[in-house]
Structures are given as structure tokens and as C-alpha cells.
Structure 1
Amino acid sequence: MTEAQDWIEHDPDPATAAELAACDADEIARRFAHPLTFGTAGLRGPLHGGPDGMNLAVVLRATWALAQVLKDRCLGGSAVVVGRDARHGSEDFARAAAEVLAAEGFSVTFLYTPAPTPVVAFAVRRLGAAAGVQITASHNPPRDNGYKVFVDGGLQIISPTDRDIESAIARAPHADEIARAAVEPSGVDIVAAYLERAATVRRSVGSVRVALTPMHGVGGEFALDALALAGVDDVHIVDAQFAPDPDFPTVAFPNPEEPGATDLLLALAADVDADVAVALDPDADRCAVGVPETTSDGSPRWRMLTGDETGWLLGDYLLSAHPDPATALVASTVVSSRMLAAIAAGHGAAHAETLTGFKWLSRAAAPGASLIYAYEEAIGHCVDPDAVRDKDGISAAVLVCDLVAALRSRGRTLPDALDELARRHGVHLTSAVSRRVEDAGAAMTALRTDPPAALAGVPVSVEDLAERRGQQRTDALVFSGDGLRVVVRPSGTEPKLKSYIEVRRAPTDDLAAARKTARQLMTDVAAAVAQW
């Protein structure tokens, strides 16, 4: 019997068993060539049968493997948390995961409702659970789903835990032979505790008019509840995107960073004369911010801030309010802007740079300092690390509204605050360029072998992060020159090279001139790296 025949015979889902049975030999070969593995966001893949997709058999075997790893670490019988978003298959997958963990002897909190990913991170930390599982594919297309694992403290897993689980999956029983025990949904109290905690990040008073979209995901009601608890009740929603819908019918790609994804939000914000616009991604762990501003010809417009711009604003706000910045740590990733480091230095606080992803940001540390804020340029913000040691779009939205109210009490706006940071620390412009390549590894080798000596006329030196030791080692190159920084790395999911560009200008009161020269250099550098 072949591996595929064996899988089909033991697939507990008749639909995926029949789907696999109908596949031709080439498709079967593709589906069994590369089983899903734990990447930056856990297991994630298309909804179809076989070990390379998200399906009931994969979820059962992954959960059995997680249980064995926990028991091998003397954590058998511990509390665990299982949650889900509202994607296709999420409810069935979450129930299956909860039932396997229960059968393996764990005390399972199976969240009673589809919930944001940060709720699971919060619950693991608050309950002292050994692990948490969230069924989600975040902002992936409708055809995908995923399996995300948190460990003690509500932190995302890193090696060797991910590799240990994969090894256990390889020796897991047939999916239909894995024991399951019924579990009743629960967690009302922990969801309420999460919402109450999210509301506490607000410190100022005053009304804020908000335009909000959860982008067809699970964050809508949670955001409204947290904002209401924080005293923000003038909230206008994008009706067409408010109810959870796994098909994401109004957007080509359910990611607030994608062109056009926030068009409905910004139109609503203009219509209701909002103070700020907030977009959550479908599992509500990321938060994008839109602001009204005046163009050079004096006309009004709305635009979305970059993740870096929001990161600067929130980092500066939290450090400004901290009673002793010398004991505070803020963190950003190697591909994010250097502005947060400058902001931290200006406050006398510590700054840490980590590899990409919140599995590293959540573990940022510095002697004598405690983490108070971390962000990545891909609109992920951790604004209350003591409660949620991961990115959290709900609490970030509350803090954004708090900042808007605090600024307005002084007659200022978010664009005003960005201008002040630029005057204090210099203009920082950021951008990213992705280029599809035949072989990303070969492209990186070529850059290592013959790195450019200059970019757009700016002499640059290069640091190879593959030569670092320990957790700072990664497959990336950093090119640095006068007011210029470019980080290039291969995509972890596609045959692409990704380049993250930052152009800096010295502090000046003539921001218009500084931004003009920075934009020109940015254009020239982007054109250069697009050829790599």
C-alpha cells in the first residue's frame, strides 16, 4: 500500500478522502512531497486533503504531536487553551484539537466563540497554561487555514519546540486512530478579562470619533467592546466588512496593507469626519491606522500610516508616559525602521533589535529593563506585554484612540506628532521591494559573492547576518551607507527576494525639503534593488 493510499484509508473526513482519491498521480505526488512545517506563523496552508494542506487529519496528528511534546516535558495534565477564527474549517479543526488534548489528559479551555488570536495568547498567560492553539490563517486568502501554537507565557513557539512537534507528527498514529474526548466550550470569564485588560491601555480622556473595519474577520465585536470599556463609543463601522465572512467578499486580499483593502474604511472616515481610522486584519492581531491630513495644495485627504509610522507614534507615546524610561525596553525587527531606536535613546530607554516575527520580538530583553512595547513594520504592535506577549490589534486600537485624544487636548494631530518626531530625530522614509526570482538562494549567493559597493550613488558596506551567532543569525544582508539602509532576505513562503529600504535625513525644521530629497533617493534605491 502506498503512503497516499494509507492516508486515504485512514482519513477521518470523507470529503478530503474522496478528494484525494480523485487526484491524478502528479497531484498526489505534489501533496505528499512536502508536509506542512512550522514557519513564522505556525502551520499554514490551503484547505485540501493530504499532508501538505490544512485538513482534519493534519490537525489531529499535529495536536497529538503537541500533546506528546508537552508530556515529554513533564507538562502532562496541564491547562491548555484552544481558540479559532471564523475561516472555513476553523470550528471543526478547533474542536478536534480540543478533543485530542482532552483525551490526552489535559485540562482544556475551548473558547466558546470565534475570537482574535491575541485572546488565546492572553488566556495562556493569564491562566498559566502550558500551551495554546489558535486555528487561524490571519490575513491569508480564503482558501487557507492554519494552526498556531503558543507556549508558557503566551509566547509563540521557537526551536527546538517546533522541530520537536514536527518529529512527533512523523511518528503520529493514523488520524482516525487518535483518541478524542468531548469538550464543552467555555472561556466566558477569560474573554471578559481580556476585554477589560485591553481597555486599561487608555490613559487620557475625551471623545474620539473612529471609523473601524475588522475586514470580515473576528475583531469587530471585540474592538467595539474594548473601545466602549475604554470610553470610546463614537465608533462608525464599515457595514459591508463587519460580520465575519470566510470568503472576504469585498477585498481581493484580506490584508489592510494591500492596495485597495482599506478604500471602504477611508471613504467612511471622510464621510463621518472621523478623527482616526482603524483597520484590523481578520484574526485581529494586527492594526493599521488611517489619518486625515492636508496635501501641499491645501486639500484634505485620508491616508493609511505605514506600520513603521504607527510604531514610532506608539513607542514615543508609551515612553513619554513611562515613570522611569531608564527601566523601559522597546523593540523592533531587523527589517523595521531605525527611528524607534532613536526615540528610545532620546528618552533614555533601551532598544532591542530582533529577527523578523513576534516569536522573537516577544522575547526581546535588555539588562535592567522590562519590555513595554514592540512592533514590526507589517502593522503588528504589542502595546501591553505584561498581558499579551504578542501582537494585538485590539489593544493597539485602544491605544491609538487614546493617543488621538491626548494629542487633540493639546491642539495636535497624529500627522503633527509625526512631524515633531521628524524634527527631533530626522526624516525617516521606509519602503519595501519584492522581486520574484527563479531561485532565491542563488540570488542571495550572488549578492554575497559580488555585493554592490554603492546604491544610487551612495557608498555602502554590507553585513551578512548569516555570520551572526545564536538567535540573531538569519539569511539576510544589510547594506548601510550615509543615510541609507537596505535589508534583503529571501521570502520564507515564495520564490522572492524582499528588500526593506530606509532613507534618513538629519534633523531639520525644513521637513518639506528633507522629505523631497529622501523621496528621490528612495525612488533611485528602489529601482536599483529591483534588479537584484
Structure 2
Amino acid sequence: MDAQLALTVSQWIANDPDSNTRAQLQTLLDNNDQQSLAKLFAGRLAFGTAGLRGEVGAGPLTMNRLVVMQTSAGLAQYLLDNVSDSTNKGVIIGYDGRLDSKQFAHDAASVFCAYGIKVRLTHKVAATPLVAFGVKHFDCAAGIVVTASHNPPQYNGYKVYWGNGAQIVAPHDKGIAASIDAVAASPIQTLALDNAETDGLLTWLGDDYYQCYREHIASAKVLQSSADTSKVSLAYTAMHGVGAEMAETVLADAGVTQVYSVAAQREPDGHFPTVVFPNPEEKGAMDMVIAEAKANNAMLACANDPDADRFAVAVRRDDGEYQMLTGDQVGILFGHYLLSKADERQRLVGTTIVSSSLLSKIASSLNGQSYTTLTGFKWLMNVAQQLQVDGSQFLFAYEEALGYTVGNMVWDKDGLSALVAFAQLVAELNDQGLTVWDRLAEIYLEHGLHLNAQVSIALKPETPNIGAFLRANPPRDIAGVKVESVDDLSICLRQFTDGRTEVIDLPASDVLIYRLTQGGRVIVRPSGTEPKIKCYYELVKPMATEQSLFDAFADGQQALVQFIQLHQAQLPQ
């Protein structure tokens, strides 16, 4: 075996506190399995703006106790170097119900305490929004949640918030990554949690903290409603995650008493035994909660993902069946509802470039201010904080992947407050003799039926670089519809067909946006390393007053499918 590799593996084993992963690596070393060890030590699990996320395993390319400790040491050193009074401001740490999450969170706490940084650590599993809330509530230097959100059971992650309560963005991501690399070469110092508590470095966040989050939801200005919420009925699933107890509590506080939880999915279980993929967007993931809703003739079938930062809902139709709302549909319903009732000083709403453009039109019609960012709540929340002023405070943001932030209590997506807000929205409609479908029809009649789809296209290995091809051969039309302008975010420039150009105020990103006549749009995110692209489509169709919403959807979806097929046929084969 290569001597340097053997030395690297031996050093890792010496520092690894986990007997299971130590044994796995030692067996490979004893068996002289250079090929397997070379794969495990071919690099390091990359730290980025989402922190860490990967499969749990042995070595530096997976999630394990030593990787978590090294990451915590790097982040601790970065805070000491860049944040004044970081030792006293401290960090808040929480974790979800995955198999290793509690251990990883405790390991992280022991490292921060060893650096002299005070730690507030949840005494049990906590929804991600509760930890994000705590960053600002306690004025912490940073926050950490051990979670892999809605990923499969073999994954875990390490999510980092900055002191403003939002997920980290540049330059902190690269700065923290460099700091991790610097400290990982040496043994990581830890302080036993009992000793840290005795020394005043560790504070356990007990039930009173969870009640604090609950009380903030109950008193939030945007979550006040005079509607009769007792008439709203809903089935709910936590999808084997950590949301059930708090979700049921905050719903009851809001007067929603007809709540039917899916018992088989209520308690945290890192094995996720009843769902193949614990993501409400995945086919079949909502089956049990829809069945629960049918059994109780509930208005809604609602879900949080396993760390409760996302929210999904299916709504009962007149025929008794339930239909999932898309993330965009929930987003535009929220935007319309919140802007219709919000204070005149709280009018700022936002979404991302790949979400529906309809929110901006609703905002314009309701005296709101809208903004658009790159994909991800790290952008939505950091930009919101930059944009809000005294006369235009932040109200709401969403992205199509089932993420919503209602009000400014949490500077990240929050599936729990979204659940309450949606129940209140339905209650207010119900008081007016209307349904969710009625309100959607009203919005589409005013602004046009907006149809959105996302398609990932795998191309042949010999296909040329798609991004380079599209930039060298800009289409004049897509599926027979004229292109009016092209946004090339790699150079942050909008180019109109008449020769005019505009600078785009967004960070550079490998994205092309084609804006079409009739209000349509195609967004292409090409891969620079493989023949694969991700496309986001939006068509806007007028909706006739005599046409039912579901007939309009059916016709629109047929047109959208045809449009997508024609666009794909235009791409190089």
C-alpha cells in the first residue's frame, strides 16, 4: 500500500472518536485494501453555503463524528477571528431525529466549548426553524442545526446560520472552509459537556425555550386572524420527523382544533419506515396523510418535511378527492393573502428566479414591493435584510421547492408558521363562502393562468457543452414563441433582441433566462462538466370567465407538455 495513504488513514483512525468507523477503516487497512481507502480519502466533504450534507460513513468524504468535530473547530476559529465578542455571544445548536444527529450535535458543542465559545444546546430534537429563530433571539454569533432535511435516511448534514439569523453566504462559506482545512491537520480539542456546563460554557435549552418559539408564533403580527379557525379541518404528518408536537400545539393556539395526525408517521424515526424518500414533493410521500384526510373528510392534507422547515398541502376538491398544490400555488396564495391584510409598512415580498413570476404581479396590484434572487433561502433572506427599510419591511418570501417564510420571526424557511398561516388563510376564505380553488381562480382570472414545470434533461455523452452552445447560438424563438430578451447570469447582462442591454443586479451564476412574448419564460441551468441541463418553464395563458379552474389547468398542462417537448427537440442531440 502507498505509504502516504497508509499514514493518512492511520492518523485519521487515531483521531476518530467513533469505534464503528475506526473499525471499518482499520479492517480496510489490515486487508491492504488500497482501492477502497483511496476512494474514502480522495478529498474532503465540501463545506459550502448550505454547510455540509452527505452520506454517513467513515473518512473525510462522508458525515461522521470526526468530520463534524473538525468542521466545528474550523467554524469556531473563524468566529473568533471574525466576530467581536464571539465567545460571549456564543452559538446555538440543535438537531433533528436522524440516527446520528444527537451525537453529532453534542460533539459539535464539546468542540465550541473547548474553544471557549458559549453554547446553547437544545435538550431534545428540535425543528430547524426553532434553531434559526434562536440565533436572533439570543443574539448569537452563529447557529448550527444537525439535519439532512428531506434527504434519504443514510444522509446527515451540518447547517450553519450567521449572526443575522440567515444561512451563510460568501465570503463566509469560503472563509469557514479554509479554516476547517487549517485545523483538520491537528487533533481536535474537546471539552466534556458536564465540565462545560460546570464552567458556565454550556446552557441546555429546555422546554421553556420551545415555549418561547411557540409564543412568538402566537403573537406574530402577520399570524393574527379574526376568522373562525375552528371550522378548518386538516390531516397532518410530520413524515417521521420532529414537527408533530410543535405543529399540533401552534395549530391549537391558533384555534385549529380539528387536526388528525398520521400516527404511524408522528414520532421521529431516522429509519423513515413508511416513506422511501421523506420529501413531500416525491411521488407517494403524501399518500398516508391524504388517506387520513379522506377518512375524516378534512379540508386539507398537510405535511412538514422531517426537520419541519418545508410545508406541503393537498386540498379537497368538490368530488372529494385531494389535489396537491404546487409550491408556486401556495406561494401566490400566501402572497395575495398576506399583502391583502398586512400593515402598509410591511410590504416587501420575494421569490427566486426559478419560481413563478406571478408573485411580482400580485405585489404590484396590491401595493407591494417584490424582489427576486438566485435559488435558495440563503439569498432570499440575506437580500431581504438588505432591502427592507422603515417604510417597507419584509413580509413574505417563498421558493417553489415548498419553502416559505411568513413574517420576520425566522430568517429562513419555516414550515410551522407556514402551516398556521395557511390554516388561517383557509379559515378566512371559508368565512367568505370561498375555497382555495375559488381564490386561485380569482387570481388567475386577473393575472393569467401561470403554468410552471421543472425538467432535468440527461443528454448524450457526445453532446457538446450546452451552455457554450446556447451562448454561441442564441435561439430567436423557443417552440415557435419569439424570444424578447436573454438574461445571461454568468456575465450579469440582459440582452434584448433590438440590441439594447441592461446590467442585472444578481451574483454571477451559470444560468440563462429566455423571456418570451405572451409572458412565457424558459430558464436553463447547464452543466459545465456533463451533458445534462435543468430547465424551468413558465407559460402564461388567459383564463376565460366561463372556464372552470380544473378545465383551464388541464388545457394549460397539455400546452405546457407540448411546449417542453418542442423546446427539448431544439437542443443539440
Match of 2:365 in 1: 346
After superposition, the Cα gap between the structure-2 partners of 1:44 and 1:277, relative to the gap in structure 1 and judged at 3 Å, is: same
1:56 and 2:65 matched? yes
Matched residue, 1:478 = 513
1:530 to partner: Cα distance: 4.5
What residue is the counterpart of 1:46 in the other structure? 55
Cα separation, 2, equivalents of 1:472 and 1:345: 25
Letter in 2 for 1:98: A
Amino acid at match of 1:101: F
The partner residue of 1:87 within 60, 80, 98 is: 98
Q: In the comparison of the two structures, how many residue pairs are matched?
A: 526
1:168 to 179, 182, 185: 179
Matched, 1:317 2:337: yes
Q: Is the 8 A contact 1:82 1:120 kept in 2?
A: yes
Alpha-carbon distance change, 503 to 25 in structure 1, aligned in 2, over 3 angstroms: same
- Over 3 Å counting, the alpha-carbon distance change for 1:519 and 1:89 in structure 2 is same
Look up the SS of the partner of 2:260 in the other structure: strand
Tell me the distance in 2 between the aligned counterparts of 1:75 and 1:251: 45
Aligned to 1:32: 41
Q: Deviations over 1:342-370 (max 9, x none)?
A: 00000111000001000000122256422
Unaligned ranges ≥5, structure 2:
194-201, 493-503
CA change 1:404–1:514 in 2 (3 A) is closer
Q: Which one of 10, 15, 18 corresponds to residue 10 of structure 1?
A: 15
**1:229-277, Cα deviation, whole Å (9 max, x unpaired):** 2121211011111111111111111000001110111111111011212
Corresponding residue for residue 525 of structure 2: 489
CA contact (8 A) 2:233 2:298 kept: yes
Matched with 2:25 is: 20
In 1, the alpha carbon distance for the partners of 2:218 and 2:293 equals 23
> What's 1:65 paired with?
74
C-alpha contact 2:122 2:205 (8 A) present in aligned 1 = yes
Query: Could you tell which deviates more after superposition, 376-385 or 185-194?
Result: 185-194
Q: Does the aligned pair in 1 maintain the 2:352–2:374 contact within 8 Å?
A: yes
Q: Is the 8 A contact 2:69 2:188 kept in 1?
A: no
SS at match of 1:147: strand
Q: Give the residue type in structure 1 aligned to 2:240.
A: H
CA–CA separation in structure 2 for the residues paired with 1:466 and 1:366: 27
Distance in 1 between residues matched to 2:188 and 2:134, nearest whole Å? 30
| 1:303-452 matches, cutoff 5 A | 303-324=323-344, 328-363=347-382, 364=384, 365=387, 368-385=391-408, 387-437=409-459, 442-452=465-475
Structure 2 counterparts to residues 283-298 of structure 1, below 5 A:
283-294=307-318
C-alpha contact (below 8 Å) 2:335/2:349 kept by paired residues: yes
What percent of counterpart residues are identical?
A: 42
CA deviation digits over 1:202-221, x for unaligned, max 9?
A: 41332111100010100111
Instruction: Write the letter of the residue equivalent to 2:545.
Output: D
Unpaired runs of 5+ residues, structure 1, are: none
Note closer, same or farther for the CA distance 1:195–1:9 as it changes in structure 2 (3 Å cut). same
Give, in whole Å, the separation in 2 of the partners of 1:92 and 1:52.
19
Residue 212 in 1 paired to residue 236 in 2?
yes
2:556 equivalent among 514, 518, 526: 518
- Equivalents in 1 of 2:272, 2:367: separation in Å? 44
* TM-score, normalised relative to structure 1: 0.94
Partner AA of 2:354 in structure 1: V
TM-score by length of 2: 0.87
Q: Is the 8 A contact 1:436 1:495 kept in 2?
A: yes
Instruction: Provide the secondary structure at the position in 1 that maps to 2:236.
Output: strand
Counterpart of 2:490 in 1: which secondary structure? helix
- Say what the alpha-carbon RMSD is for the aligned residues: 2.2
Q: Alpha-carbon deviation of 1:471? A: 4.2
| CA distance in structure 2 between the aligned counterparts of 1:246 and 1:494, rounded to whole angstroms | 33
Q: Aligned pair 1:111/2:122, yes or no?
A: yes
> Does the 8 A contact of 2:119 with 2:203 survive in 1?
no
Note if 1:188 corresponds to 2:197: no
The answer to whether the 8 Å contact 1:41/1:148 transfers is yes
Q: 1 CA distance for matches of 2:394 and 2:153? A: 35
Letter of the aligned partner of 2:43 in structure 1? H
